[in-house]
Structure 1
């Protein structure tokens, strides 16, 4: 455990929650992927495939961590896990929030052309994604990172004069 803490630069026990959440999320994703791939096959085969997918995703994630660690300005390695969890949570949450809002506004495939419906769906989802990214980033202790990330993204899409 000491070696693990040193590698991820964990100085306080509460910081262990991020690697634990990361491993749980990776395991859950692996299991869901294996169930999709194997459908109604035997449970043992599903668990074996889950283990293989887990290992592959873990290797991929650690590779990405090494690449992004140099690019992103983070103080500790464990913060990378926190940032990845924020991105994952925000992606799912923005759709969860925008779907009922679209229904509340009366936007549906029945009263709009398909193309218009999907454009509105994506725009509303994108707006909520931006808001939730900063809010969930704050909950995970990464407000500064995500606020800077948000400002950079908004500048790139043309909101430069509102942010200066």
Structure 2
């Protein structure tokens, strides 16, 4: 377990265990909160067990994904880790974008 913690600290550029714990708390709070947002919003728009999976996936992409991003930034700001979360978001969104867009230097 210690190797995992050290690897995360190195990868994220965190210098203390407290900083790592705070970042993990941010991710945890975001995940828990987005579950409540999903439940509320899906109930509000009528997504339920009978809803076709394609509609549910589209609703998830339109509602849950952006909510997670905003909540992550909000909790990062509140808990004093906005710079880390902002950089993490930029890297993550860049990786997602690269799945759909070819790089300028790639050959067809």
Coarse TM-score class (shorter-chain normalised): 0.7 to 0.9
Structure 2 CA distance for aligned equivalents of residues 69 and 116 of structure 1: 38
Per the normalisation by structure 2, the TM-score is 0.76
Contact kept, 8 Å, 2:26 with 2:72, in 1: the verdict is yes
1:129 matched to 2:68? yes
The residue aligned with 2:94 is 155
Instruction: With a CA cutoff of 8 Å and minimum separation of 6, indicate the structure with the bigger relative contact order.
Output: 2
SS at match of 1:132: helix
Runs of 5+ unmatched residues, structure 1: 1-59, 160-164
Matched residues, number: 97
Per the normalisation by structure 1, the TM-score is 0.52
The Cα offsets for residues 10-34 of structure 1, whole Å up to 9 and x where unpaired, read as: xxxxxxxxxxxxxxxxxxxxxxxxx
For the aligned residue pairs, the C-alpha RMSD in angstroms reads 2.0
The Cα offsets for residues 32-82 of structure 1, whole Å up to 9 and x where unpaired, read as: xxxxxxxxxxxxxxxxxxxxxxxxxxxx3x442211111112243311010
1:128 to partner: Cα distance: 1.2
Structure 1 CA distance for aligned equivalents of residues 86 and 22 of structure 2: 15
Structure 2 CA distance for aligned equivalents of residues 142 and 149 of structure 1: 11
Aligned match of 2:41 in 90, 101, 115? 101
The residue aligned with 2:9 is 69
Structure 2 CA distance for aligned equivalents of residues 121 and 68 of structure 1: 32
Contact kept, 8 Å, 1:134 with 1:146, in 2: the verdict is yes
Contact kept, 8 Å, 2:34 with 2:68, in 1: the verdict is yes
Contact kept, 8 Å, 1:87 with 1:133, in 2: the verdict is yes
Contact kept, 8 Å, 1:94 with 1:128, in 2: the verdict is yes
Larger Cα Rg: Structure 1 or Structure 2? Answer: 1
The residue aligned with 2:102 is none
Runs of 5+ unmatched residues, structure 2: 99-108
